[in-house]
Amino acid sequence: MQRVHNFSAGPATLPLDVLQQARDELLDWNGSGMSVMEMSHRGRHFMTIAAQAEQDLRELLAIPAGYKVLFLQGGAHTQFAMIPLNLLRGRASADYLDTGDWSLKAIAEARRLGGVQVVASSAASHYTTLPDPADWQCDPAAAYFHYTSNETIRGVEFHQIPLPAHADTPLVADMSSNILARPVDVSHFGLIYAGAQKNIGPAGLTLVIVREDLIGQARAGTPTMLDYATFAGSDSMYNTPPTYAWYLAGLVFQWLRRQGGLAAMAVRNQRKSEKLYAAIDDSGGFYRCPVAVSCRSWMNVTFTLADAALEPVFLQQAEAAGLSGLKGHRLVGGMRASLYNAMPEAGVDALIGFMSEFGRSHG
């Protein structure tokens, strides 16, 4: 067996401990005589797995009472539609921050379903900065305020929660690529959502954490499967949930608790990303990160080579050195190293070593 260091943005690397546990339990989960994949979602074994996963997540994020945790399907893309369908609540429009490719997709989908006001945009900097809160044009009557906490494609992250100017406006965050990377005060939010395949578990599961008073007000005509109330009232088991992905997410939550929880992950994630940014910044211009220092992501480190013609060579030699998934998103090119929770520090060290060697032989 030969495992590489996998820097893919998603689906992404998972903790080796978790994969080994899943392997050990694959054919017979806990004496049940069957695989988790083969169990009824309504049977007692899966009920135990599901409840434990929710409880571990609640402890990790210190989710206060008054919030539902929903285990859904459809990815973050389905949330782009479910949020306006459920949260507009008869209001004319919602406020959105435009900080990159994912917020633009959320904005485009919301526009199909209601009014959208773009409060501020960092398009002018090619999304290498974040808009200054002093310039945001927030609507006091907005149904909610939506932002993307980490822009996975360009590697731009909010290091502070951008609280809306009007305290009553529910705050909604797409945390697909940085949920569980650090502690966050959930009580500031109306709704948090995340596709699982970056920092939670395998693809096929979508997590939604939503304040209970925002549930049950979906617009008339909302399909049953797009109404949060459907899942809030059925422990996310209105129809067959993605049981195996839910189970694996639960193993990841337990692994995170064993690592010391989110405060410990934050220390590790900051250290991992800062050493990689330092290697880029100290390369004498051989490598360059386009993102402003104050909003560089801990999760997705983007960089280019001064000589763009060397990029395919870099990628090919990196792959040969067991460093996989470093090609940047097709929209922006360059390189991207995704350093989610499951990326060990040794993987980052190996990448830095490779980059320095590559710089020496091609500089």
Ligand X SMILES: *Cc1c(COP(=O)(O)O)cnc(C)c1O
Nearest distance from C-beta of residue 8 to ligand X, angstroms: 11
Q: Considering only CA atoms, which of 312, 302, 257 is closest in space to residue 277?
A: 302
Alpha helices by DSSP H, listed for the chain, are: 16-24, 44-61, 75-87, 101-111, 228-232, 243-258, 261-281, 311-320, 345-362
CB 93 within 8 A of CB 115: yes
Catalytic residue list? 102, 174, 198
Check: CB of residue 252 under 8 Å from CB of residue 14: yes
Under the binding rule (CB under 6 A), the answer on residue 164 touching ligand X is no
Told to check if 77 binds ligand X by CB under 6 A, we report yes
* Binding segment toward ligand X, per CB under 6 A, in 70-78, 217-225, 301-309, 329-337: 70-78
- In the complex, least distance from residue 56 CB atom to ligand X, rounded to whole angstroms: 22
191: contact with ligand X by CB under 6 A: no
State the minimum distance, in angstroms, from the CB of residue 193 to ligand X.
9
In the complex, minimum distance from the CB of residue 174 to ligand X, in angstroms, rounded to a whole number = 5
Strand partners, 121: 98
Q: Contact between 177 and ligand X (CB under 6 A)?
A: yes
Give the interface segment with ligand X, choosing from 35-43, 173-181, 244-252, 348-356 (CB under 6 A): 173-181
Q: How would you class 312 by CB atoms within 10 Å of its CB: exposed for 0-12, middle for 13-18, buried for 19 or more?
A: exposed
Which of 71, 102, 145, 247: binder of ligand X (CB under 6 A)?
Answer: 102
Tell me whether residue 96 or residue 102 sits nearer to ligand X (CB atom).
Answer: 102
Q: How far is the CB of 152 from ligand X (least distance, A)?
A: 3
336 φ, ψ (degrees, to nearest 5)? -150, 125
Does residue 199 bind ligand X (CB under 6 A)? no
DSSP codes of every residue in 284-350:
TTSEE--S-GGGB-SSEEEEEESSGGGHHHHHHHHHHTTEE--BPPTTT-SEEEE--TTS-HHHHHH
By CB under 6 A, name the one of 15, 75, 325, 328 that touches ligand X. Answer: 75
**Tokens at 261, concatenated:** 């929880």
The C-alpha angle 41, 46, 48, rounded to 5 degrees, equals 140
# chain residues binding ligand X, by CB under 6 A: 12
**In the complex, minimum distance from the CB of residue 157 to ligand X, in angstroms, rounded to a whole number:** 10
Site for ligand X in 113-152 (CB under 6 A): 148, 152
Report the half-sphere exposure of 259 (CA within 13 A, side-chain side).
Answer: 26
The residue among 231 and 286 lying less far from ligand X, judged by its C-beta, is 231
Contacts of 140 (CB under 8 A, 6+ apart): 165, 166, 169
Beta strands 150-151 and 156-157: pairing type? antiparallel
Taking CB under 6 A as the criterion, the residue among 131, 155, 164, 195 binding ligand X is: 195
- Only one of the segments 64-72, 137-145, 169-177, 308-316 lies at the binding site for ligand X (rule: CB under 6 A); that segment is 169-177
- 10 is a site residue for ligand X (CB under 6 A): yes
- Work out the number of other CB atoms within 10 angstroms of the CB of residue 223: 11
Q: Give the residue with the Cβ less far from ligand X, 7 or 102.
A: 102
204 binds ligand X (CB under 6 A): no
At closest approach, how far in Å is the CB of 199 from ligand X? 9
Instruction: Report the DSSP beta bridge partners of residue 336.
Output: 302
Of residues 54, 56, 139, 174, which one binds ligand X by CB under 6 A? Answer: 174
Do residues 350 and 323 lie in contact, with contact meaning Cβ atoms separated by under 8 Å?
A: yes
Does 155 bind ligand X (CB under 6 A)? Our answer is no
Residues numbered 341-360 forming contacts with ligand X, rule: CB under 6 A: none
Nearest-angstrom CA–CA distance, 155 and 231: 32
Q: Which lies closer to ligand X via its Cβ, residue 158 or residue 303?
A: 158
Q: Could you list the residues that contact ligand X (CB under 6 A)?
A: 10, 75-77, 102, 148, 152, 174, 176-177, 195, 198
